[in-house]
Structure 1
Amino acid sequence: MANLSAYRTIVTLAAIVVIIAGLKYAAPLIVPFMLSAFISLLLSPLLHWLIKKGIPSPLAFFIVIILVFLLFVSVTGLITSHMADLFEHAESWQVTITENLKQVIFQLQKVGIDIDQELFFSMLQPQKLFTFTLSIIKNASLLLSNSFLIFFTVVFMLIESFSIKRKIRYLEKSGSPGLAHRIESFTVKLNHYFTLKAFTSLLTGLWIVAVLYMFDVPYPLLWGLGGFILNFIPVIGSIIAAIPPVLIALATSGFGDALWIGGWFLVINTVIGNLLEPKIMGRGLEISELVVFLSLVFWGWVFGKIGMLLAVPLTMVVKFAFETSESTRWIAVLLSDSAKNKK
């Protein structure tokens, strides 16, 4: 009996390794569909809200599709219009960033604060930070190449949302008791997370745009869009969002404005990330903070930057899958924020 149990464990672990390897290998194909599901989950509450308000289903669907189309066109236009100009100035801005930092070090040395320039630049590496900034824009532009595929996938996923409940009820009648209730509970949690996260991300993006307009930093709408998207990445998303505008401010306006903008980002992240989000989102995800951080690393390794963006919902899906079976429910408990009864 013990040998049989050990054999099952080994087979299960081997299957998990094979599945993970397959997901990583198929990432270029899977990522656009994951992103489509992400957008569909953001839009699904709006679609069903319009229907509840008495708008006929076809008309509500048409309104949402027009909104999706305008969203894709606007984002594509925003990124492409700024991308060429950004790369045109990239080399000169890198030089300016280095020169401005050297001036700051020189001023500090004049007041008696001695800083080793070589050590400072080897630790900070501003040119690598700026290259990282450009890589974020490049990755966003690569995603735009799949924009039509993502758009049509979103359309069909929204169409499917009208009939999915009937299919689940059929499966429940066919021998899966309680399936509809579990899926509905999980969907409510996921929609709750996406809706509130989208709201706080929108506030973050608008606040960033206002601050950057105030300091006359180039491409404020682009960095505001980046702040909106990156706010979905837990732990490090807000830090990544701050890097491009701070570096651009350092290149175009000097160290003083860059310091002010960095301070504003700290205020934005403190108010929205540490005060507003915990208050309105509560503890509905039931995932421990350690698991959230580890999921960020794991899904980022498997699916790249999109995996980091979707780390929390992907972990929620995995946790839900483990909860559906008695033999794997203990794994769901380990992923949870507390050892509550999952039955």
Structure 2
Amino acid sequence: MFQRIKDAIKIDDNNNFSITIRHHVIFWLVYFLFTTFRWGSYFDDYEYAFKTTLLGFAIHMTLCYFNIYYLMPKFIYTRKYVTYAITLIASLFFVLMLKFNLTYFLVSSNVWPEGPEVTTTLTLNYAIEMMLGELYVVTFVTAIKVTFDWIREHKRLVDLEKLQLETELRLLRTQVSPHFFFNTLNNIYSLTIEKSNKAPKIILKLSELMRYLLYETKQKRQSLTKEIICLQNYLDLESIRYGDQLKINVDISGEIEDKEIAPMLLLSFVENSFKHGANKSIGEVNINIDFNVIGDFLHFRISNPIATEKNNNAIKTEQGGIGIGNVKKRLALGYEEDEYHLDINDNGKEYVVNLKIKV
């Protein structure tokens, strides 16, 4: 029990709701002064009130701490309610006998001056009143302790949930880079097999992208301008790969400066447009991308035709992938419900993504 008290009164710099030794001192000091002046005014005898309060003060403190740091952890938290009730009643009776004898021999033979009559023996009415009075103090102190424990536990759960969300969000984000590099390296491999002159340019662009993705995407939000540049570098890579077969139209409107977005969030949509469009087509492919900032929101739209692979000479589609499921999880974890709206339309001929997101 004493170790629990010691732990409880230890100052915890990391928890704003910790009960420190200062809180204990203030509480009991206020209680002592209030009780002394209350009964001193009632009896018009502050010396008597001081003596009785001082005597009861030690009893109150002992019983309260015994209850909240021993009885409750041992019986309430282990659901031994009957045992707890019996032990608490026995403790109240022991305190009653102790208080009666201390008052009788140290303060006054009339142990209950506020009672209906002079009381010099242990009567039933006196016993009930004293035990109820002690129970009142114990209940009040216990309520304070339980409230602080609930606040501290609630804060711990909120912090734990936040940490879990941040960890999951970080994991989802780190899945994008390996996936992107895997696809790009596959592209380079295909071009080197063909001994294409495009391979050196792709390697150089990939180096620039790797520098950005590895060193500038660790924070929760990234500059929208940098994200658009990252996407443009990705599109340049794909343009080198596909040549005249690929037509990309990018339109940017609104004020994009000083706007921020979750890093690498839009990249998955762009990758997805190649997965369902250019990678499965042997003809000309048009991909349209619009960035439109209105107020505090970015209206992002990307569309591409949905083609089917017509023969075995078509460019091979990448294996696996993180895809839209990753994006949806990142949106749910990184933004409030009113901070984004995602709409995906697949009519069999065209794949269209509309994302409204706070920036």
Coarse TM-score class (shorter-chain normalised) = under 0.3
TM-score, L = length of structure 1: 0.27
Higher helix share: 1
Structure number with bigger Rg: 2
* TM-score when normalising by structure 2: 0.26
Higher relative contact order (CA 8 A, sep 6+): 1
